A and B are shown apart, each in its own frame.
Chain A
Amino acid sequence: MSRDDYEVVIGLEVHAELSTKTKIFCSCPTKFGAKPNTQTCPICMAMPGTLPVLNEKVVEYAVKAGLATNCTISQDSKNDRKNYFYPDLPKAYQISQYDKPLCEHGYVEIETENGPKKIRILRIHIEEDAGKLNHDDFGGGSLVDLNRAGVPLIETVSEPDMRSTEEAEQYLRKLKSIFEYIEVSDCKMQEGSFRADVNVSVRKRGNSKLGTRTEMKNMNSFRSITRAIDYEVDRQIEVIENGGKVEQETLRWDDVSGKTFSMRDKEDAQDYRYFPEPDLVAIKLSDEYIENVKKSLPELPESRKARYLEEYKLSEKDANIITASKHLSDLFEEATRISGNSKAVNNWIISDISRILNEEEMEPSEIPFTAEELAKMVMLIDKGTISSSIGKKVLEELFENPKDPEEIIKEKGWIQISDEGAIKEIVLKVLEANPQSIADYKGGKDRALGFLVGQAMKETRGKANPQMLNKMFIEELKK
């Protein structure tokens, strides 16, 4: 049997850190990268006698996420304790939600080869993040930093609806894009604010019963996730083909070796002993509350895409690329509004900006310049102050050292030469140096004109106005 005889079944549990100012149960800030244990207080350090108080924004953001993913918002919800010992979990229980999550039964739509497909969402619930364990380089132990303990999370649990690595990746990208759109999470994967537990199983095609699944926890890059799924699918098929049985277990994906490893101590069978959190009161959201949150939702990617096709006549492909990221989409809209040139802005985003992001392995959210700066560059080209080839250099500069494009071109001396006398001088100089091209042109080879313009651009390091050059070369050659 081959791999094609097997169907892959993937389910994802995505943890997204909410972009609230404070933690879920105390007023400590949530900023990433602070000095260890400086964003802590008796509550998130689980000092004896402390009590949690739920952050209202956490509820609001979770409801937003639920509404944006077509979930039903529960009007009767509560918090529960999940009990286990680990040094990054100072209370020895995580306040989470067990049987009454805030949001249930939603879906998101992804594009597949066979058209759109709905991936169902089982639930979205709120919970607190754990702290972080650092290696102690000198003492050989571990060091506990609780800055992240209590940062709010939403956990989005999908149904096992994905049938390929590509679908899993599509689903993740879609979910990430939605959370970015509704601004509930910054979804910075490298900072761990958007990470996934991946459940994978395989079954022979035609078999309706699910195979035994394995789980890989806390994956925080698309590349690791897709590689890990591919590896795990192959491994499971091999186990079955060799007459073995896949064991239900938690695995650790190792990026360096490209393999999964068994993680948990077998003797330590987990039993989380969930029970209702007695320190917090029930969450009972009214229709009115839910309606108000609904009204506050911004325009979602689907709707933006439709608008771009209609309003700006973008191609389906371009509209997909731009709306896949809220940052790109916002950049597009704002730069278009300022410059009034949607076509140029679109082109810059689809070609050069996307290329640079790719090369530098950057997320759109990491684009360092503003929409206004991009718009200004587009306008400088439109006005003829710079050529589009200078534009490319300005863009690179915007990535390197972002500031007002006008200042950039002044500093760099990139202002386009549009002075007729100056242009004429260059044209004459180039013609003098290239008698063969003159002959070629006159002999009917139009290509020679392009060569001459190119030489003139080289001479001026791209600063000459290409239209004027063109015009003046023709005039001179006709003489």
Chain B
Amino acid sequence: MDITELTVHELMEKLHNKELTTTKITKAYVDRIKEKEPEVEAFVTSLTDEAQAKAEEIDKKIEAGEVVGELAGIPIGIKDNICTKGIKTTCSSRMLENFVSPYDATVTEKLNNENIISLGKLNMDEFAMGGSTETSYFKKTKNPWNLSKVPGGSSGGSAAAVAANMVPWALGSDTGGSIRQPASFCGVVGLKPTYGLVSRYGLVAFASSLDQIGPITKDVKDSAILLNIIAGHDEKDTTSVDMEKKDYVKALKNDVKGMKIAVPKEFFGEGINNEVKESLEKAIEKYKELGAEVEEISLDIAKYSLATYYIIACAEASSNLGRFDGIRYTYRTSEFKDLKEIYKKSRSEGFGAEVKRRIILGTYVLSSGYYDAYYKKAQQVRTLVTNEFNKAFEKYDVILTPTSPTTAFGIGEKSNNPLEMYLADICTVSVNIAGLPGISIPCGVDSNGMPIGMQLIGNKFCEETILNVAYTFEQATKFRENCKPEFKGGAK
């Protein structure tokens, strides 16, 4: 048995019937990281020693019969923009290269309370700005299916680590597709919850009104299990919603009969790769076989959403990233003659090109004379997008689209053309704009063996619906049993 091949629910079962110990599980992952990390480069900070010590501690507690929680001893990887007390949280930026957080994010606390063991902090696009993890200051993470390709982004480290079996599951964050798109590129499951379902306290803000933390997992059931842990109101985040706690695992009914699925034709038009389209069409047929009612609809919001997204996200980012100023805890330039030089040099040296580009754009759209034409207009378009989704959800339970117009592209292929890189987010951003939940699950591979992702979008706080629809497909198609990453290509 290869322990690292198992899903979390499988690991839990084996832990509970004493087939495995926490120490054994952790050891297996530590070995796997040793083997695969040099190729994949998913970690910014690896905590293998700490994890093993923690595992032994938990095993002792289990032996002593202490209550340690259902998930005690399960390892995890955490995206490096989620604060972890006493451990570096870098956002893959030179700006925070040595930053040690003085506090835990709310989700980190929740993981700690469950005695879940962190294996380390995972690479990402700098400050979550990008779709390929190439903007990381530290390293370029590779796609485990083909090492010459990007893992997607910005949660590329998280998706790659899960796909490469270096962690059983991971936390990512999603502002415009940053969980779903890398999940799609790496053939794993990525869920972006409804805005407000998971506390953002301790998630280093990129765009406050769009950011959400979510699970990246091997299968849908694990996604539901991790969502059970991280969801819920937090007094420290007033945008987190106070509502009754749900059990998302119970929602997995493996049945979509009578479920109404909408397929918006605009998401299958120009720019969408043919193989992706074909794979999605097969998935649609599968849903029909499974008893769902699938209808084509018109939802002409994709291009507006993308423009709106970049205006709002960059505007908020330009403000959110002001605190990285060389004064209190960030990188500070070595030579300066006055305060203004500390600011300008620290920020120019500490931020990478993409981050600076977005700060400039965001500052521009908020500046006097342009605010109305860009920011205010974008906020109105946001209302329009939300209204259009609302209309669709009056009739349908789920909206089905590709997650990304293409499969994973080559490292370096798009990094010189920002606009082209932005266009790759066309299928995912509208979900953030409207604050909806969306999940990406693998639905096939292209002719090069690269995974293709299907996105299922639900109405607000209807995670149960999309998880069940995703689960039913997964159970019917068994993607994981048929396709596995092969670590093809690559220089090493």
Chain A directly contacts chain B within the complex, with at least one CB pair under 8 Å: yes
Interface of chain A, main secondary structure: loop
Question: Are A49 and B339 in touch, CB under 8 angstroms?
Answer: no
Closest chain B residue to A53 by CB distance? B238
Asked if B328 is at the interface (CB within 8 A of a chain A CB), the reply is: yes
**Are A93 and B322 in contact, with the CB atoms below 8 A?**
yes
What is the bound-complex CA distance between A81 and B318, given in angstroms?
12
For the complex, what is the distance from the CA of A54 to the CA of B200, rounded to whole Å?
A: 16
When chains A and B are docked, how far (Å) is the Cα of A46 from the Cα of B328?
Answer: 9
Report B75-107 CB contacts with A as 1/0, cut-off 8 Å. 000000111000001010000100101110100
Mark A79-111 against chain B: 1 for CB-CB distance below 8 A, else 0. 001010101001111000000000000000000
A272 nearest in chain B by CB position = B368
User: Within residues 22 to 58 of chain A, which ones have a CB less than 8 A from any CB in chain B?
Assistant: 42, 45-54
Contact pick for B103, options A42, A83, A281, CB 8 Å: A42
CB distance A279 to B204 under 8 Å? no
User: Of B202, B235, B324, B325, which one neighbours A49 at CB under 8 angstroms?
Assistant: B202
Q: How many A-B residue pairs lie within 8 Å, measured between CB atoms? A: 99
Question: Assuming A91-B323, A144-B327, is B237 touching A51 (CB within 8 A)?
Answer: yes
Flag if B327 contacts A93 (CB, 8 Å).
no
Question: Judging by beta carbons under 8 Å apart, are B322 and A48 in contact?
Answer: no
Contact B101–A49 (Cβ < 8 Å): yes
Asked whether any CB of chain A lies closer than 8 Å to the CB of B208, the reply is yes
Counting contact residues on chain B (CB < 8 A from A), the size range is: 35 or more
Q: Decide if B205 is an interface residue (CB 8 Å cutoff).
A: yes
Complex: how many Å from CA A275 to CA B378?
12
* Most B C-beta atoms less than 10 A away, residue of A85, A271, A273: A273
Known: A47-B329, A278-B208. A87 touches B319 (CB 8 A): no
List of B residues within 8 angstroms of A51 by Cβ: 200-201, 236-239
Q: B315 interface residue, CB < 8 Å from A?
A: yes
With contacts A51-B236, A53-B236 known, is A83 near B366, CB below 8 A?
A: yes
Q: How far is the CA of A271 from the CA of B101 in the complex (A)?
A: 32
Query: Which residues of chain A come closer than 8 Å to B368, judged between CB atoms?
Result: 271, 273
Q: Does A280 contact B (CB under 8 A)?
A: yes
Say whether A48 contacts B204, CB under 8 Å: yes
| Range for the number of chain A residues in contact with chain B | 20 to 34
In this complex, the member of A42, A45, A279 whose beta carbon has the largest number of chain B beta carbons within 10 angstroms is A279
Instruction: Known A273-B363, A273-B367, A278-B209; judge A48-B323 contact (CB<8 A).
Output: yes
Consensus secondary structure, chain B interface: loop
B101 near A275 (CB under 8 angstroms)? no
Cβ 8 A contact of A50, one of B81, B201, B363: B201
Compute how far the CA of A52 lies from the CA of B237 in the bound complex, rounded to whole angstroms.
7
Residues of B contacting A91 in the complex (Cβ-Cβ under 8 angstroms): 322-323
Q: Does B319 contact A93, Cβ atoms closer than 8 Å? A: yes
For B202, the chain A residues whose CB sits under 8 A away are: 49-50
Contact mask for chain B residues 181-209; partner A; CB cutoff 8 A; 1 contact, 0 none = 00000000000000000001111110111
Q: In whole angstroms, what is the CA distance A87 to B322 when docked?
A: 11
Q: Beyond A42-B102, A281-B238, is A85–B363 a contact (Cβ under 8 Å)?
A: no
Q: How many Å from the CB of B288 to the closest CB on chain A?
A: 40
- B331 within 8 Å of A (CB atoms): no
46-75 of chain A: CB within 8 A of chain B: 46-54
A83 and B105 within 8 A (CB): no
| Interface residue? B393 (CB, 8 A) | no
* B329 CB to nearest chain A CB (Å): 7
A-B contact pairs, 9 of them (CB 8 A): A48-B99, A49-B203, A50-B201, A53-B235, A53-B236, A81-B319, A85-B322, A87-B339, A279-B205
